[in-house]
């Protein structure tokens, strides 16, 4: 049987990090076995639908390098791939369950349901629908339907025994049927619920592996009962532990956590984001950390997905992104980084700008950071912290070094990096000072910081007049 996985996001805005990680796992499982990766849009909750969100989904998957084998933008025989276009399909299967006695029409008003919720709250019990409409006679059901009374279709759950869930990561889990609610399958507006539409679509689209968050693990009992009601084969379930934020809560766009497009717009490379996210909850058999997509596909083992939650750490993401930026060819790096430079370079040559950007290629961890690290080249004055000023006052050789630098730099007629580097050697020879006391005083005086790119490059880009002024 050909492996088929599906990514089924809701079109409610940018794709958040936890959702994207699930998509990565789904994609890797499919491609590892030369299978199909299907995109399905789950828009059953029409109130939360955001205009343009489907385009964000396409864009995100494209940037991450995912090839969609089937989907709304690449339809095949299993379409349509947008749930709102499949309403008649769901209604047909819900009616089939009603005819089998596995589901029933529920005509309860919102007032009746609210009274049930209040009684459950008073008893300090979770609300479960009491199944009263499952006891209606055929005549009463026909009468209600003829009178146009609004209804939903509910799944008729067994009230005794257990339902067994088989999961690749968590093993065999038994769920007591007495805690299962008679869940709604078709809402009063004719749209299916998320749970019901998923089962129907996964079966009809031939999905063999369902990968989703651990928080949905208990819901799988309801899925399995639906599969059993239809006599369908169940897919392989792979539930993955949550990704937690720094506050210990699940990452969510509702909580304002970063989405993929937020990170992309900040200057994080999609390949770095994918590499980082796949290691949140999965570990390779070796100690490798940086992977190409091909390496991920070849090395991915779904059985090595962890049962434990992972913590989203932006510092670790920065580490990955910095490595990917450093590995870009210079021409590709310049094309990537140039749009993030927002400082005014109208009076600078293209050669100067490219040189500036290139000397910081090994020093930035995301695109927008370039403005923070290069602002010293655009300031008329710099600030030296008390700590660094204390260093400048810490050795009697430092004033002499600074004075000699200024003297030798003032003599340079052909302002280039090679001549600037020669000045450093001259100062070293004339003062007898080397190491930290030779380099750091100059860097601090001209930039206000103690670390940076190669000193001759930095001096060259700041410019002769500005360097002489800062060395006073």
**Residues belonging to the active site:** 253
The answer to whether 23 touches 63, Cβ cutoff 8 Å, is no
Q: Where do runs of H (alpha helix) occur along 248-367?
A: 260-266, 270-278, 293-299, 314-326, 330-337, 350-359
Write b or e for each residue in 257-272: b if 16 or more Cβ atoms lie within 10 A of its Cβ, otherwise e: bbbbbebbeebbbbbb
Q: How far apart are CA 424 and CA 97, in angstroms?
A: 84
Task: Say whether 416 sits in a helix, a strand or coil.
Answer: coil
The answer to whether 81 touches 40, Cβ cutoff 8 Å, is yes
Structure tokens at 447: 């930039």
Nearest to 289 by CA among 297, 278, 298: 278
Write b or e for each residue in 76-92: b if 16 or more Cβ atoms lie within 10 A of its Cβ, otherwise e: eebeebbbbebbebbbe
State the distance between the two ends of the chain, measured CA to CA, in whole angstroms: 77
Nearest 5 degrees, angle CA 9-CA 10-CA 12? 130
Nearest to 175 by CA among 114, 137, 223: 223
Whose tokens are 């079109």? That residue is 11
Q: Where do runs of H (alpha helix) occur along 305-349?
A: 314-326, 330-337
């Amino acid at each position: 049987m050909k492996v088929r996985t599906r990514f089924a996001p809701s079109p409610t805005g940018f794709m958040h990090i936890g959702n994207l990680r699930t998509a990565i796992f789904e994609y890797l499982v499919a491609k590892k076995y030369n299978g199909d990766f299907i995109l399905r849009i789950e828009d059953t909750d029409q109130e939360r639908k955001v205009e343009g969100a489907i385009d964000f989904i396409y864009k995100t998957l494209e940037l991450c390098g995912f090839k969609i084998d089937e989907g709304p933008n690449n339809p095949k025989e299993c379409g349509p791939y947008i749930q709102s276009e499949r309403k008649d399909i769901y209604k047909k299967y819900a009616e089939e369950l009603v005819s089998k006695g596995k589901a029933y029409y529920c005509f309860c008003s919102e007032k009746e349901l609210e009274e049930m919720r209040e009684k459950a709250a008073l008893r300090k019990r979770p609300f479960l629908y009491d199944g009263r409409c499952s006891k209606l006679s055929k005549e009463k059901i026909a009468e209600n339907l003829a009178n146009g009374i609004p209804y939903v279709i509910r799944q008729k759950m067994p009230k005794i025994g257990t339902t067994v869930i088989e999961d690749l990561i968590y093993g065999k889990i038994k769920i007591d049927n007495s805690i299962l609610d008679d869940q709604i399958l078709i809402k009063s507006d004719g749209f299916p619920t998320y749970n019901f539409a998923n089962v129907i679509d996964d079966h009809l689209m031939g999905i063999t592996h369902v990968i989703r968050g651990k928080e949905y693990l208990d819901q799988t009992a309801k899925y399995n009962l639906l599969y059993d009601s239809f006599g369908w084969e169940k897919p392989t379930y792979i539930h993955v532990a949550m990704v937690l934020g720094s506050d210990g809560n699940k990452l969510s766009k509702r909580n304002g956590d970063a989405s993929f497009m937020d990170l992309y717009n900040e200057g994080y490379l999609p390949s770095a984001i994918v590499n980082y996210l796949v290691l949140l909850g999965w570990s390779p058999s070796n100690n490798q950390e940086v992977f190409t997509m091909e390496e991920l596909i070849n090395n991915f083992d779904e059985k090595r997905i962890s049962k434990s939650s992972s913590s989203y750490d932006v510092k670790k993401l920065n580490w990955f992104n910095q490595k990917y930026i450093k590995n870009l060819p210079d021409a590709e790096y310049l094309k990537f980084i140039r749009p993030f430079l927002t400082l005014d370079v109208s009076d600078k040559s293209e050669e100067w700008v490219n040189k500036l950007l290139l000397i910081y290629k090994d020093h930035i961890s995301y695109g927008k950071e370039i403005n923070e690290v290069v602002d010293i080249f655009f300031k008329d004055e710099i600030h030296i912290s008390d700590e660094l000023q204390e260093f400048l006052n810490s050795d009697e050789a430092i004033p002499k070094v600074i004075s000699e630098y200024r003297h030798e730099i003032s003599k340079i007629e052909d302002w280039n990096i090679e001549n600037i580097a020669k000045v450093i050697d001259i100062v070293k020879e004339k003062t007898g000072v080397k190491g930290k006391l030779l380099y750091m005083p100059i860097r601090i005086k001209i930039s206000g910081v103690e670390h940076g790119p190669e000193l001759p490059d930095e001096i060259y880009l700041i410019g002769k007049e500005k360097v002489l002024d800062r060395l006073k």
